[in-house]
Amino acid sequence: MENKNLITGIDLGSSKIAVAIGDCKDGEINLKSYEIEESVGIRGGVIVDLKAACECISRIIQKAEKKAKTEITSVFIGISGQHLHSNNNEGKISLSTDQEEIGVQHLKEVIFKAKTSPSSLGLEVLHVLPSEFILDNVAGVKNPIGLFGKELKVKLTSVIGITTAIQNAIRCVHLAGLDVEHVIANMIATGEAILYPEEKDLGVGLIDLGSHLTDIAIYKGEYPAYLSSLPYGGENLSREIATRLHVSLKEAEEIKKSHGVCLRYLLDNNEEINFGKPTAKKIRKLELAEIIEEKSEMLVSHIFARIGNYLPLLGSGIVLTGGTSNLVGLKEVIEQKMNLPVRIGGIRTDLIANPSIFQKPSESMEYATSLGLIAYGKRVRDKEKNFPWEKENIYDKTIGKVFNWIKNFF
Ligand SMILES: Nc1ncnc2c1ncn2[C@@H]1O[C@H](COP(=O)(O)OP(=O)(O)OP(=O)(O)O)[C@@H](O)[C@H]1O
Ligand SMILES: [Mg+2]
């Protein structure tokens, strides 16, 4: 019989699909199994080959089920892609008398006034995220329910994506024989797994340096106030190495991972690296570092262009995640450009009850998003249990997101 406490998160990444299954009861997550596979049929975070991606998902779910000795019927999926972006909205309502207590209905009204619906056809709202309420000009009100007031304002962030891209991800998972319990923007899940509440409160930038994408989230409070995705990642560095050294992309990946450094001054020697099959070639470490440094600086400039205005808000600095954050020297390049402290994120120490399930702590980083999906999924499920009158298929109706958002206040 299916264990109702199980939550499965699937991170549909461009270079890997990662699955984690957690048993969530008594307020903790007990990780039951985790699996990773090179992804096929996904480019830039979106499905480009339905059959290939679906087969890949089926395969990895079967492996995870076997390890967890259970059968999975539904999953929380994490999606990314350049199409995902955020909008900041504000709404305002006036209450009839100052003796009126604010209730859920007022929250719904003010959120609808904030016009969370997307501005053009073909887009849909994936999340409506709370920022703050302002009650009679008093800012920073987290939960106005039960308070008296004359005028209620709300500030929120909606995360918007292209409907077809979102629906294709859902369809792919359906075809693999699984129900989709919820679709979550990857960066929200990743933030859940890596960032501590104090960091979010003080302001923090989360940068996920992936394979095809660099995803950015700016937190100034519990949920992101800004989300954005750049169509560049580690694969662009590998392509540049492949083009300049005339080797295959696979070989360039290996050279980058084993010898890549993106600041020449971090090199401790200038030895020759041997590579190239069938014809043997050589390159000096310094020349390789020059190629990587040039491309990385471009990537960091693109990031700066997106978040430059937010930097003064980031009291807790910047946290890096994603495979490309392993590139030696990239942390330093970002530190110099942003003039802020930068750390490479790890899974929160309080996230799972059994972290020793991972053979090496570094292994857990590849599961940051899928573990975050479990944590976020657990919160969604708890809220739905408390508010069954609002339970609905929240990813196909804006109103659902609004209701879900309201649930966050209880
Ligand atoms: N040690 C390393 N040094 C440099 N780059 C690395 C290292 N390890 C992994 N990478 C790079 O990380 C990238 C994969 O990162 P990640 O697994 O976060 O991507 P993804 O989530 O599948 O993709 P995306 O988020 O873009 O959809 C690849 O480009 C890989 O070359
Ligand atoms: Mg990723």
Cα separations in angstroms, 107 against 103, 248, 402: 7, 56, 9
What is the pLDDT at residue 205? 98
CATH class of 85-161: alpha beta
Cα(285) to centroid(ligand 2), Å? 28
Cα(322) to centroid(ligand 2), Å? 6
- Regarding the beta carbon of 326 and ligand 1, being less than 6 Å apart is answered yes
Cα separations in angstroms, 393 against 2, 172, 186, 254, 369: 21, 18, 19, 43, 22
Cα(210) to centroid(ligand 1), Å? 5
Q: To test the ligand 1 pocket, which listed residue (10, 11, 14, 15) has its Cβ within 8 A of the most ligand atoms?
A: 15
Q: Could you tell me the residue ranges of all domains in the chain?
A: 6-81+164-196+347-390, 85-161, 229-344
Q: How does pLDDT run across 181-208, given as a tens digit for each residue? A: 999 999 999 999 999 999 999 999 999 9
Nearest atom, ligand 1, residue 322 CA: 18
> What percentage of residues in the chain have a pLDDT greater than 70?
92
In angstroms, how far is CA 253 from the centroid of its own chain? 24
Does the pLDDT value for residue 336 go beyond 70? Answer: yes
- Alpha-carbon dihedral sign for residues 314, 332, 300, 13: negative
Quickly name the fold that domain 229-344 has: Nucleotidyltransferase; domain 5 (3.30.420)
Architecture of 6-81+164-196+347-390 per CATH?
2-Layer Sandwich (3.30)
Do 6-81+164-196+347-390 and 229-344 agree at the fold level?
A: yes
Q: How does pLDDT run across 44-76, given as a tens digit for each residue? A: 999 999 999 999 999 999 999 999 999 999 999
Cα(234) to centroid(ligand 1), Å? 6
Residue 88, C-beta contacts closer than 8 angstroms, at least 6 positions apart:
131, 155, 156, 157, 225, 226
Cα(270) to centroid(ligand 1), Å? 25
- Regarding the beta carbon of 190 and ligand 1, being less than 6 Å apart is answered no
What is the pLDDT at residue 55? 97
Nearest atom, ligand 1, residue 237 CA: 29
Q: Which residues surround ligand 2, an ion (CB under 5 A)?
A: 13, 210
Q: Following DSSP, what letter does each residue of 141-175 receive, concatenated?
A: ES--TT-B-SEEEEEEEEEEEEHHHHHHHHHHHHH
Does the pLDDT value for residue 400 go beyond 70? Answer: no
What is the pLDDT at residue 399? 42
- Regarding the beta carbon of 329 and ligand 1, being less than 6 Å apart is answered no
Question: Which ligand has the shortest distance to the CA of 323?
Answer: 1
Q: Which residues pair with 179 in a beta bridge?
A: 74
Does the pLDDT value for residue 297 go beyond 70? Answer: yes
The residue with tokens 């492949």 is 242
Cα(399) to centroid(ligand 1), Å? 36
Question: Which ligand has the shortest distance to the CA of 44?
Answer: 1
Q: Is 324 helix (H, G, I), strand (E, B) or coil?
A: helix
| Spatial separation of the C-alpha atoms in residues 313 and 307, rounded to whole Å | 10
Q: Is 319 helix (H, G, I), strand (E, B) or coil?
A: strand
- Regarding the beta carbon of 229 and ligand 1, being less than 6 Å apart is answered no
Which has more confidence, 406 or 38?
38
Average pLDDT over residues 359-366: 89
Cα separations in angstroms, 24 against 30, 239, 246, 325: 6, 41, 50, 30
Question: Which ligand has the shortest distance to the CA of 321?
Answer: 1
Reported as a pLDDT band with limits 50, 70 and 90, residue 180 is very high
Nearest atom, ligand 1, residue 42 CA: 27
Residue whose Cα lies nearest atom 5 of ligand 1: it is: 324
Nearest atom, ligand 1, residue 238 CA: 31
Q: Could you give phi then psi for residue 327, rounded to 5 degrees?
A: -65, 125
* Amino acid, single-letter form, for residue 132: E
- Regarding the beta carbon of 17 and ligand 1, being less than 6 Å apart is answered no
Reported as a pLDDT band with limits 50, 70 and 90, residue 384 is low
- Regarding the beta carbon of 221 and ligand 1, being less than 6 Å apart is answered no
Reported as a pLDDT band with limits 50, 70 and 90, residue 1 is low
